[in-house]
Amino acid sequence: MQNEIPKALQFSHKQSYVKLEPGSVKKVVVIQGSPRKEGTSKTDIVAKSFADGCHKAGAETETIYLREKKIRQCQGCFHCWTKTPGKCIHNDDVADIMETTESADLVVYASPLYHFGIISLMKRYIERTLPRIEPFLIKRDDGKTTHPPRKGFKYIQNAVIIGVCGFPEVEHFGAFSANFHYIANAGGEFGMNIAAEIYRPLSEILGNPFYKEENDRVLGAVEKAGYDLLTNGHIAPSLIDEIAEVRLDKDQVYEMANKSWEICIDECMTMPELQQKLIES
């Protein structure tokens, strides 16, 4: 069963969402791709709220911070397809991450928007999951070509996509969203099944005490989204739209952002340092 596409996520690429069996998700693993640390990472703030909702719905939750892991670049050698089937030539943390996701009923991919796409660290991890599939070419139901899943790995992995960005418009997530949907569509009946996408523009205000009311609204909606997905099997499109909606005047947004950058430049500090200063004051 496919769910309705939220109004805020009317992108140009093909999108489809699966409905989960209510109560079927017992373990949720969050793959967190932000390079920022706790407190200043907006990706982390949103992902934690979603995980809190999942926990309240009765699921065990675990977060894997990719910035803390050793993830080497895929070499395109195909050892994992020929010489060591299902095992990468690199001896780093990826195999352990994949093993953890194998035990999950739902995997959440959480990433900031960098240059209108998925952050490179997240993309690097995704590329290293190549051992999950076999090299042979097979035909999907729609006639397109794909690879079969490898025995020993899950044939279907339910997923939620979370993204944050600094711009106030959700439209900037188009390429970000497309990348995940192309991965999901490529597998046909196998691979990634996307249950929901949650995007928050103007995320730099998250954690800023000056915008507490707006932050509480957004993060409360994100937590409810996590709870609803596990208890109902889907998230209402209106709730996704609420998370993506920016209820601040755009001119005010520009003024706030530009003033913050001026302070950073004048005082020779980074934006995360300024935000940490605001949190501590």
| pLDDT one-digit tens code per residue, 18-50 | 999 999 999 999 999 999 988 789 999 999 999
Query: Residue 2 domain-assigned?
Result: no
| Model confidence at 263: pLDDT above 70 | yes
Q: What is the spatial distance between Cα 55 and Cα 243, in angstroms, rounded to a whole number?
A: 19
- Mean per-residue pLDDT of the chain: 93
How large is the average pLDDT for residues 123-138?
96
The domain of 263 spans 249-281
Task: Give this prediction's pTM.
Answer: 0.93
pLDDT tens-digit profile of 229-259?
A: 999 999 999 999 999 999 999 998 899 889 9
Specify the pLDDT at position 2: 60
Q: Distance from CA of residue 244 to its chain's centroid?
A: 14
- 160 shares its domain with 236: yes
Are the C-beta atoms of 20 and 225 separated by less than 8 Å?
A: no
| Model confidence at 135: pLDDT above 70 | yes
- 129 shares its domain with 256: no
Query: Residue 137 domain-assigned?
Result: yes
Pairing of strands 27-32, 106-114: parallel
| Model confidence at 123: pLDDT above 90 | yes
Beta bridge partners of 32: 65, 110
- 269 shares its domain with 166: no
- 222 shares its domain with 257: no
| Model confidence at 198: pLDDT above 70 | yes
- 113 shares its domain with 37: yes
